[in-house]
Structure 1
Amino acid sequence: MSLLRRALPALLLTPLLACGPSQPDAPDCSRFEFPISPAPASATHVSCTSTRCGDGLNPPTSGDHCSSTLPCRVYDTEQNRCVWLHNMEHGHAVFLYNCPEGCPELVSTLEAIRTEAAVGSNGVTRAVVAPDSRIPNRVAALLWRVSYVADSADPDALRCLLQFQDKYAPEAGLACTP
């Protein structure tokens, strides 16, 4: 009986310890809304010069796309939307910015959040950062069918968006070339 009495506190505490430490720095994602677009009517491979790329949204979050993907890295020039849509089909995150006058702090924020995206089986972070002069705001963070569009890069919102990485992607979890 005395052995049970001594072991009981440890037995009761064990499930709590198994949960690990709490994460006080984790963002409160309930304060953000991320539009989830309907599944596209078509998501086939088309020519990279096709005008049929995307789902008609700006920026697109799904739809027809090129057969090739972009290497997952940071770009300082605009990339073909038709190509990065294919990245998103694979579950890769795409972070875009529209700052004709330059915005190094915003780009630095996107680059930092990019490093928090899921990593593929080859060790490459599955995310792209690139400028895009056609997005309606300064920032767009995109996953297949999920988007965050704003005039600033809120790190908490971007981290919360990454919780959807791979959720709706038809070919989720695929590695990306460096």
Structure 2
Amino acid sequence: MTRALSALLLSLCLACGSTNDDPPNPGGEACQRYSFPLSDTSSSSHVSSCSSTGCGNGENPPNSGMHCPTWLSCRSFDTEQPRCSWIHNLEHGHAVFLYNCPEGCPDEVAKLEDAMAKAAVGSNGVRRALVAPDSQLPKRFAALLWRRTYLMDAVDPDAITCLLALQDVDANEPGLTCPQ
């Protein structure tokens, strides 16, 4: 009995303990300084065309809402992609990392690609995230999940790690794989 109790206490202590290698969780102390509020619920229906102006939830950038029936592969793009498509990725629980750097910002894009490499992995082994430019962003960078947006003037890897702890939490169709 004493041996079993000791083992139980040890396992509880290990579960509660944290090292600097542990990623922060959404309720963890390291993430408390960030806010990733949920946007209002909106329709998640499909529109007839990916060029439709009816896509999104009215926010900039949109983080939910009506979207086209096709989604994007999970990779880094160097050309702007239709918002209607990556909204569909968000619905599937994918993370979307966007940048608006007309003058170029390869070091910051590399940080977004590093963040993409920390996203959840689908059953097909592909990281469920994408990186793409977006000329309509109100700030230089954005990290998005379904109904959550984090806007930045400079890429904040710690904030993105905290946001990624929420991946799939609110998505309509969480955990779906993404083609590469």
TM-score (norm: length of structure 1): 0.90
Deviation at 1:36, TM superposition (A): 1.2
Q: Report the residue type matching 1:34 in the other structure.
A: F
Structure possessing the higher radius of gyration over alpha carbons:
1
Residue in 1 aligned with 2:19? 23
Residue in 2 aligned with 1:110? 112
Q: How many residues in Structure 1 have an aligned counterpart in Structure 2?
A: 173
Pairwise CA RMSD: 1.9
Residue in 2 aligned with 1:142? 144
Equivalent-residue separation in structure 1 for 2:37 and 2:7 (angstroms): 44
Deviation at 1:167, TM superposition (A): 1.0
Among candidates 77, 80, 87, match of residue 78 of structure 1 = 80
Q: Report the residue type matching 2:131 in the other structure.
A: V
SS where residue 157 of structure 1 aligns?
Answer: helix
**Cα deviation code 1:47-96 (max 9, x no counterpart):** 11211000111000110000001000000000000000000000000000
Residue in 2 aligned with 1:54? 56
Moved more, 154-163 or 25-34: 25-34
Residue in 2 aligned with 1:44? 45
Stretches of structure 2 lacking an aligned partner (at least 5 in a row): 25-29
Equivalent-residue separation in structure 2 for 1:152 and 1:83 (angstroms): 25
Q: What is the identity percentage for the equivalent residue pairs of Structure 1 and Structure 2?
A: 57
Residue in 2 aligned with 1:122? 124
SS where residue 168 of structure 1 aligns?
Answer: coil
**Cα deviation code 1:3-43 (max 9, x no counterpart):** x77x4884465324652862224440000011210110x21
Deviation at 1:132, TM superposition (A): 0.5
Residue in 1 aligned with 2:27? none
Residue in 2 aligned with 1:66? 68
Equivalent-residue separation in structure 1 for 2:50 and 2:104 (angstroms): 28
Alignment CA distance shift 1:8-1:136 (3 Å): closer
TM-score (norm: length of structure 2): 0.89
